[in-house]
Amino acid sequence: MTAPLRIGFIPLVDAAALIVAVDKGFAKAEGLDVDLVREVSWSNVRDKLNIGLFDAAHLLAPVAIASSLGLGHIKVPIAAPFNLGLNGNAITVSPALHSAIMAEIDGDRFDPMATANALARVVAARKKSGAEPLTFGMTFPFSTHNYQLRFWMAAGGVDPDEDVRLVVLPPPYMVDSLASGQVDAFCVGAPWNSVAVDLGVGHILHFVSDILVRAVEKVLAVRQTWSEKNPDVLAALIRAASRAAEFIEQPENRAEAAKTLAQPDRLGVDAEVIQRTLDGRLKISSDGTLRESSRYLLVGRESAGRPEPVQAAWLYAQMVRWGQTPYSPEALKTAMGVFRPDIYDAAMGSTGSPPEASQAIGAFAGPPFKPDDIAGHLAAFTIKHRKP
């Protein structure tokens, strides 16, 4: 007997493990009959998961935490027992903004501190001339994209709440918004940065792995009550996704995986663009300049699938830093409890945690992050939310 599941996803490369698990038969081999439902916005995915229209979802890691804390919406405790992707985002800017930043840069153009300082000079010059503030697109208020943009620009002295505009856009709408001039830049997951470059409307300024060495991006999310009622089904889903992640990470399988993901009802973009993403070999400007990074997107390697509560703590600290919630030890405990390595380990038959080094955030600015010292983390930064 097969277990029917309805799972929501957004057309992004870090949904790969779910899509490949279904389309390559790994889910069926685990006794699962999965209906994958393509959505446009994260609010749709969250809401349908919360009310039970979805059994599971490809979800922004911070949304799982926010839902469990009741931030920005109704409170629905979420369990995240599998990471669908680490890293994978990039900051893409318009050709005009790229030229402005490069004209002001002092240092390596791939050094996020150098570009953040250059951005601060661009912002100051625009303010002095009376120009409109720059507008940056990100996918959701409770998103890694929001926090990564803020972390980067604030390190250079740009106040994201005072000096620029941050607006929410669904990932598939980012490119058109940049092309039409509605935004000057955006932070989004693959493949939309590459699509902007290929169309000649954007330049990839940074991979998120320049800003954070190891950043959880999307998780496999289920309602906590559902996980308690369906432990065997959830374990089967984790194993299927893990097998798919292993398949994708084999270089000889990348072309096949990319072709699977490229289908119109999946990502609906060119397979070659997707394969570039999986290979960590991206075209960063329309002149064909390539940049390679082994850390651009981690789907299964380096214990990427196993949830790390320290990652949840870092995301919670960003929510506090930017005024989305006041700090409390109880809320921190709840946030860290969303990530469930225990469920992952039970499903995979593994014991023990990965090496300590794999749990590091590795931010380019500020002291090393310690989840038991959120106050110290916040004190290290001068730019943060100003209480009214």
pLDDT digits (tens, 9 = 90+) for 282-306: 999 999 999 999 999 999 999 999 9
Residue 281 sits at φ, ψ, to 5 deg, of: -130, 90
Please, what are the domains in the chain? 3-86+216-268+299-355 (3.40.190.10)
Beta bridge pairs of residue 219? 59, 83
Question: First and final CA of the chain: distance in angstroms?
Answer: 57
User: What 3 state SS string does 195-239 have?
Assistant: HHHHCCCCEEEEEHHHHECCCEEEEEEEEHHHHHHCHHHHHHHHH
At 2 the pLDDT is 75
One pLDDT digit (tens) per residue for the chain, 388 residues: 577 999 999 999 999 999 999 999 999 999 999 999 999 889 999 999 999 999 999 999 999 999 999 998 899 999 999 999 999 999 999 999 999 999 999 999 999 999 999 999 999 999 999 999 999 999 999 999 999 999 999 999 999 999 999 999 988 899 999 999 999 999 999 999 999 999 999 999 999 999 999 999 999 999 999 999 999 999 999 999 999 999 999 999 999 999 999 999 999 999 999 999 999 999 999 999 999 999 999 999 999 999 999 999 999 999 999 999 999 999 999 999 999 999 999 999 976 555 554 557 999 999 999 999 999 999 999 999 866 4
Structure tokens of 109?
A: 């153009």
Q: Which residues contact 232 (CB under 8 A, 6 or more apart)?
A: none
Predicted pLDDT at 121: 98
Longest dimension (CA), the chain: 68
What is the model's pLDDT at position 316? 98
Burial 287-305 (b: 16+ CB within 10 A, else e): eeeeeeeebbbbbbebbbb
Helix (H, G, I), strand (E, B) or coil at 297: strand
pTM of the model: 0.95
How far, in Å, CA of 138 to CA of 33, rounded?
33
The answer to whether the CB of 78 falls within 8 A of the CB of 218 is no
Backbone torsion region of residue 181, taken as left when φ is above 0, otherwise alpha when ψ lies between -120 and 50, otherwise beta = left
The length of the chain in residues reads 388
Alpha carbons 182 and 213: distance in angstroms, whole number: 30
- pLDDT for 300: 92
**What pairs with residue 8 in β-bridges?**
37, 57
Q: Identify the pLDDT of residue 357.
A: 45
Residue 337's φ and ψ, nearest 5 degrees, are -75, -10
Please state whether the peptide bond connecting residue 191 to the residue before it is cis, i.e. omega within 30 degrees of 0: yes
SS3 annotation, 110-145 = CCHHHHHHHHHHHHHHHHHHCCCCCEEEECCCCCHH
The answer to whether the CB of 165 falls within 8 A of the CB of 159 is: no
Q: Is the dihedral of CA 316, 189, 82, 78 positive or negative?
A: positive
Measure the CA dihedral 227/230/236/239, to 10°: 10
Question: In what helix (H) or strand (E) does residue 205 lie, and over which residues does it extend?
Answer: strand 203-207
Per the CB < 8 A criterion, the answer to whether 60 and 142 are in contact is yes
CA-atom Rg of the chain in angstroms: 20
